[in-house]
Amino acid sequence: LVPKKSLSLERFSAFDRQASLENNTQLSDGSADGESSLQLTKYECQRVTTLDHYNRKLVEALELLESHALLIGGEQSQGRALAFKRSSTAMKGLPKEIENVDEISSLRHLGNHSLRIIGEILTKGYSDEVEQIRNSEFYKATKLFNNIFGVGPTTARYWYDKGLRTFDDLRNSEIIKLTDRQQSGLDNYDELCEPVTLEQAQRIRDMVQNEIDIILPGTKSMLVGGHRRGKKAGHDTDILIWHPEEGKERGLLTKLVDRLELKGYIKYKEMINIDANTDEAFLRRTNSRGLSDIKEKPGKAMDHLERCFGIFSFPRTLLQLPQNDDNPSAARRVDLIVTPASQWAYALVGWTGNKQYNRSLRLYAWKELQINLSSHAAFDCREQKLLPASTEQDIFNYLKLTYREPWERNC
Ligand code: DCT
Ligand code: MG
């Protein structure tokens, strides 16, 4: 848990840090004269961002540009993707609908490219560049591939470069060998595109809770991810599991997954188990075909919590879907994450997200406070100590941030 980065206290004088933390205007971007100019905090985690906001059309365009940049790939495009992300989250954080680009031109969160797109949309209702990308063969095909579970932007682009455009091309290709994960994603594509409603996610969580009540009474679980942030529908169900007594959670995930497998609920799974002997360094990946022990270097996974993710198959009654005699069950993506009690609060913040919120929280913690934050713990590099937390509020306190409810973390 001890961060590898060395201390770099010199970069931030105590005065700068204190000033920026005490007075949010030091961190905001409004012009000095600006009663009318819009202001935003430097980091997303310092502001409230809700699912509802005032600038949908602009955000949609910027998100499309972000996703396009990711599909193009390369270091430069990654940077551009991040810049578009910063712009779209800034637009989500604004307290009103933007009518004129001058209202936001002084915000440093928006680069020239984003401003140009926004200006264009505000003047004529659409952006030529955005529409061109939306209708391009490259974007349509790579986006389609990228929507398959197990297919990242690099693979999507590779397939495109090989001349593939459709799922039929993929299925008939002699040069492409799908991984088990991708094959499963492709086989279940249509059902996985159906949104997981909050009610369905709650029913899946209830079912999981019933199972862990049998395996290890006292074990707790809760919905995290988008559903905890107030989304009425998500692309998967994220469930965080823990036992209040540290250590009792060991071995729980395997037992749970075995039971779910016996019930026929699992179509495809990958397990990330922590090695009980070494407790660190390597993670094990075991997939449903029994191909196991593919050791994965730390850093590749989002964190080192025990996790089972994959494609589950639930009876339609459990999901409260209309009966279908030909197909009595429906596939859904599920993530089961087990955390030791001592890391629960950090795991909860991390797995609640969203991704951009986490990114900003970690950046802020490091840059402003020299605190190295993860889904396991926080390490204060100035004090050279871990910061134990038993609630989310504890973490916000350490970070000297106003507490934000999960639904205020939708960057
Ligand atoms: N997360 C993260 N970094 C990632 C992926 C995920 O920090 N690379 C965190 C933030 C949210 C949480 O994990 C769950 O991830 P997803 O299920 O992918 O996202 P979501 O916010 O739950 O969105 P959706 O509703 O689409 O599932
Ligand atoms: Mg999710």
**DSSP letter for each residue of 371-407:** EEE-SS-EEETTTTEE---SSHHHHHHHTT-----GG
In whole numbers, what is the pLDDT of the chain averaged over residues?
88
CA atoms within 13 A on the CB side of 15: 0
Does residue 152 have a pLDDT over 80? yes
Is the C-beta atom of 225 inside 6 A of ligand 1? yes
3-state secondary structure of 154: helix
Q: How many of the other CB atoms lie within 10 Å of CB of 21? A: 16
Annotated binding site: 236, 238, 335
User: Rounded distance, CA 102 to CA 110, Å?
Assistant: 12
Share of the chain above pLDDT 70, in %: 84
pLDDT of residue 163: 97
Whole-model pTM: value is 0.89
Establish whether the linkage from the previous residue to 410 is cis, with ω within 30° of 0: no
The residue count of the chain comes to 411
Cα of 137 vs centre of ligand 1, distance in Å, is 28
CA distances 145 to 134, 305, 349, Å, are 15, 28, 30
Cα of 320 vs centre of ligand 2, distance in Å, is 20
Please work out, in degrees rounded to the nearest 5, the angle formed at the alpha carbon of residue 284 by the alpha carbons of 279 and 285: 155
Contact 257, 269 (CB under 8 A): yes
User: Rounded distance, CA 342 to CA 334, Å?
Assistant: 24
pLDDT of residue 304: 78
157-193 per-residue burial string, b: 16 or more CB within 10 A, e: under 16: bbbbeeebbeeeebeeeeeeebeebbbbbbbbeebbe
Please work out, in degrees rounded to the nearest 5, the angle formed at the alpha carbon of residue 139 by the alpha carbons of 134 and 142: 150
Does residue 24 have a pLDDT over 70? no
What is the pLDDT averaged over residues 328-348?
97
Contacts of 131 (CB under 8 A, 6+ apart): none
User: Rounded distance, CA 67 to CA 143, Å?
Assistant: 8
Residue 196 CA: which ligand 1 atom is closest? 25
Greater confidence, 289 or 54?
A: 54
Greater confidence, 335 or 29?
A: 335
167-190 pLDDT, tens digit each: 999 999 999 999 999 999 999 999
Is the C-beta atom of 155 inside 6 A of ligand 1? no
325-328: long-range contacts, CB 8 A cutoff, minimum separation 24: none
Is the C-beta atom of 355 inside 6 A of ligand 1? yes
Neighbours of ion ligand 2 (CB under 5 A): 225-226, 234, 236, 238
245-273 pLDDT, tens digit each: 999 999 999 999 999 999 999 999 999 88
pLDDT of residue 246: 95
Please give the backbone phi and psi of residue 200, each rounded to the nearest 5 degrees, phi first.
Answer: -65, -45
Is the C-beta atom of 309 inside 6 A of ligand 1? no
What is the pLDDT averaged over residues 32-47?
77
Contact 343, 386 (CB under 8 A): no
